[in-house]
Each structure stands twice: as C-alpha cells, then as structure tokens.
Amino acid sequence: MKVVICGGGVIGTCAAYYLAKRGTDVTVVERAGVANGASGKSGGFLAMDWCRGTPVDPLSRRSFALHAELAESIGIDWGYRRVETLSVAASQRQGLSRLRQRNALGWLGSNATVHGQLGTPETTAQLTPDLFTKGMLEASGATLVEGAVEGILLEDGKAAGILVDGAQLMADAVVIAMGPWSVLACQWLPLPGVYGLKGHSLVFRYTPDDPKALFVELEDIAGDISTPEVMPRTDGTTYVCGLSGEAPLPVNPSHVGTEKGGPEKLRAMTELFAPELSRAEILASQACYRPVTQDGMPLIGQVPGVMGAYIATGHGVWGMLNGPATGEALAELILDGAAATVDIAPFDASRLPPLDTANFLREG
C-alpha cells in the first residue's frame, strides 16, 4: 500500500513513522523544509495529564508514554528528558521578597519567585522539536518529496493521489497534515476550517544551573499580564515563547516571519524575570502558527465521505505532545480500518461544518 502524506511537520512525520513501521510505502511531501513551521519552533514541552477532563486526555496520555518509548527505542538524540515543571510569578509592581525567601531558583531575577510545582519528572518531559520531527522522518525511512501540494486527485469519489507542483503523485491513501495550511485542502475536500494562531519565540545560548521548565505569570509596570514559557534544553540553549502575533497566515510557509518589535518585546519580557538569560546571545528569533479548529479539538480521521483521504491537524498547543499517538492511530485507521489504541471518534471532522472557502484564502 502506498500512502502520501502532505506536510512535513510533527504530525506528518509521526504518521509516516507508524505507517512505515508496518511495511507501508510512505512519501512525505513538504513545501518549505521539514519542521520549518511550529514543529521546529515550538517549546517541545510534554505533559502526561494536562488535557485531563477533555476528549484529548487519552490521546495525550498514550502519546506521553509513546514519547518515552520512542526516545528509548530509536537511536537518535532529540533532547528528550523528563523535567520538573514550575510556575513562577513575576511582577515589576510588587516586591515578592517574602515568597522568594522560601522559593528561590538561582537564575531568576529579584522580581520573580517560584510559587508552585506544575509537574514532576513522572508527569512532564521535553524535547527539541526540530530534532524530533526530523528524527521521526529519518527513523521512518519514508521518501521525502520537496514541493507544494496543489490539489487532490479523485477517482470515482475516492482519493487516488495528489498534485505536487503540477505533477501527479498517485497513492492508495492521502493524509492531509499541513498544520494550519491544511485549510488549503478545504478547497479540494469537505473539511472544516483550520486556523493559525501566531506566536514568537527566542532561542538563547544559555544553560541555567538548575534547569526546570517554567510557566511564568508576569505583571509589567502598567499591570498588564503576560505568560511566557521557558524551556532550558539539553543542547546548551534555552527557549522562551509567549508573545502572540497579528499577521494572517501566509499561503507560503517560507514567508512566516517575526513582526516588528516582536523579538525585542519578548527579550524585554524575559529581562523582567530572568535578567541573565535575557542578556545571553540570541541564536534564533522566530515565529510560527499553531493549528487550531473552531472547537479547539484536533481533526483526526477519514475526510467525511471521501474514501482514501485522511486529515490530521488542529492540535493547537499540544501538537508536539500528541504527534506520536496521532500517527499511531492514523496508521491503524488506514491499515486496519479502525484506530485501536485511542478512541479518535471525538476528533472526526464531520462534527464541524465544512468551510466555505469563497474569499477565505489569499496569497500571502
């Protein structure tokens, strides 16, 4: 069986891995470089049970376990490790010294203090996103085709392949996994809308003495609250995100960039709670879009009414976490006719109306 996967983000490469593991002939088609989007620019933070109380919980728990298994079984170092995760309060307006005496973390500034433990090494972990995404593709052995997916080929109402830069690429099954750009597929298939929420991030050359994942609540001098996240990594870098962007999703993923003043603002925010970190060399100033749906839940399953066409996107803030269990479930669905490891019924695309694409898409 031949499967074509549109999109070389974490969802596409995880699907490639679990399909190829079972002997499927897999081709991944990627327009702008594997992991160029959020799958290479995200935090890479993983939590076992932070989706509890939602239909995504079983997917996340399965995926958290698969991450540990993959890090153990595949001989590629993508910076996976278990971490302690702390919440930090920081304020430019109020002294936090009384709390600080009890809860110091050496690399935080005098405005900041630890005020809670959000996760232990049993429940939280991290990885370096681009290394993981590329590592999964490498481990899959799938063929990579560089090109833009421009359409889907249908024969008797069934998916028969895709159009890549004007050329036909035939397949028995097609998976749409283009993150926020999956919205392009709404022109070709009856799919609900997928939207992109933009975020900026910085990668500093910095290794704190006591590396912990931090979720910071930061109050600036005007009383405005922001919530940066800080991930020290195993490769001598520390990642900081937490500043959104307004620019709409460009059709070409290569055109995604930071917005005027964005990186400077994020650095200034960092200075308020971790001055030494904020002064370290910046190795990357970047932005990316997380894929979201109208109801905040992913789309995973067969495209309604179109045999051989599948969708896997809309993972929001948890795409790095939920990549493996999504890929595994998708492989089961395509090869066995049903997902066995996780119930993906809540993620069926038919729960939402198809997007009316008239005037929705424009070249960026």
Ligand X SMILES: Cc1cc2nc3c(=O)[nH]c(=O)nc-3n(C[C@H](O)[C@H](O)[C@H](O)COP(=O)(O)OP(=O)(O)OC[C@H]3O[C@@H](n4cnc5c(N)ncnc54)[C@H](O)[C@@H]3O)c2cc1C
Q: Contact residues for ligand X (CB under 6 A)? A: 6-12, 29-32, 36-39, 42-45, 148-149, 177-181, 184, 199, 201, 241, 253, 288, 290-291, 313, 315-321
User: Which has the closest alpha carbon to 161: 174, 180, 178, 142?
Assistant: 174
- Distance (Å, rounded) from C-alpha 38 to C-alpha 181? 12
Burial state string for 185-196 with b = 16 or more CB within 10 A and e = fewer than 16: bbebbbbbbbbb
Sign of the dihedral defined by the CA atoms of residues 210, 213, 217, 219, in that order: positive
CB of 38 or CB of 342, closer to ligand X: 38
CA dist 199 to 18, 47, 165, Å? 29, 20, 29
In the complex, least distance from residue 29 CB atom to ligand X, rounded to whole angstroms: 5
**Closer residue to ligand X in complex, CB, 267/290:** 290
Would you say 109 or 316 has its CB closer to ligand X?
316
**The length of the chain, given as a count of residues:** 364
Amino acid at 182: S
Closest CB to ligand X among residues 96, 230: 230
The CA–CA distances, whole Å, from 268 to 204, 271, 287 equal 13, 5, 17
Structure tokens at 298: 């992913």
- Beta carbon nearer to ligand X, 206 or 289: 289
Nearer to ligand X, 96 or 262 (CB): 262
Helix (H, G, I), strand (E, B) or coil at 105: coil
Interstrand relation of 195-205 and 213-219 (parallel, antiparallel or unpaired):
unpaired
